[in-house]
Amino acid sequence: MQSILAVDDSASMRQMVSFTLKGAGYNVIEAADGQEALEKARAQQVDLVLTDQNMPRMDGITLVKQLRSMHAFAGTPMLILTTESSDEMKAKGKAAGATGWLVKPFDPAKLLDVVKRVIK
Amino acid sequence: MHNLDQHDAATVQRTALECEAIAADLERLKMVIADAGDQLIASFNEVGVLSKQPTRSADEQRRLDRAVATAVTALQFQDMANQLTAHAQRRLTSLHETLSKLSDGVDPLLAHSRLQPVRQAGMGVGSIDLF
């Protein structure tokens, strides 16, 4: 079973993401911010990272940068799921090494479609 | 009331812009909540009707799945609402600081970013960019 690390400081968002991904057969590991996600990523390998941008302690772009610098996550797809929709922020995400930028709110079918396309 | 000098006038103008931005945040918040409410009620009604049927046609099953998916999208409103209120609160703090400084005659610059964390004014599905 493929594992997805879902990172969001909003409990309701984590719930909606988990509901969607678990319903499609993925194993979901949840984290409430970038720092917690980094600690969980160090403990176990995941097949995809789906992260929010604006979070306390560590934001999504910083998390992507940190993970990209780790050998184990060099080729892992990383998607940023956020309310931020400016080109400026998207460019920062791309420069950090994100695989894609999804603007909230997400549609479950479209999220699953993107996950299937990028997960290895 | 004393006459405003040029510096004070500029500050008042910036303060008015901040007030306008807060009003826009609140209006967006109102629309996000209203849109989410409408979608949840519609989904709830659809699920309520279809889930009671002992058997469902392929089309009815698709409608049921769609209603659940719509609810999943609408239930994300809390996150967007939280960010809008947090943004408005930061602006209010900035206003408070500005007014405090203005009253003391100290240079009152609004330090907080104008970058808007939520531009959506409803619960329509967001865009996707793959790099």
> What DSSP string describes A57-108?
SS-HHHHHHHHHTSGGGTT--EEEEES---HHHHHHHHHHT-SEEEESSPPH
Residues of B in contact with A20 (CB under 8 A): 72
Residue A84, judged by CB atoms within 10 A of its CB (0-12, 13-18, 19+), counts as buried
What digits encode the pLDDT tens for the residues A27-64?
Answer: 999 999 999 999 999 999 999 999 999 999 999 999 99
Residues of B in contact with A105 (CB under 8 A): 73-74, 76-77, 80, 120, 123-126
Q: What is the pTM of this model?
A: 0.80
Could you give the CA distance from residue B123 to residue B125 in angstroms, rounded to a whole number? 6
Residues of A in contact with B78 (CB under 8 A): 10, 12-13
What digits encode the pLDDT tens for the residues A75-111?
Answer: 999 999 999 999 999 999 999 999 999 999 999 999 9
Q: Which amino acid is at A26?
A: Y
Residue A117, judged by CB atoms within 10 A of its CB (0-12, 13-18, 19+), counts as exposed
ipTM of the complex: 0.80
Could you give the CA distance from residue B120 to residue A65 in angstroms, rounded to a whole number? 27
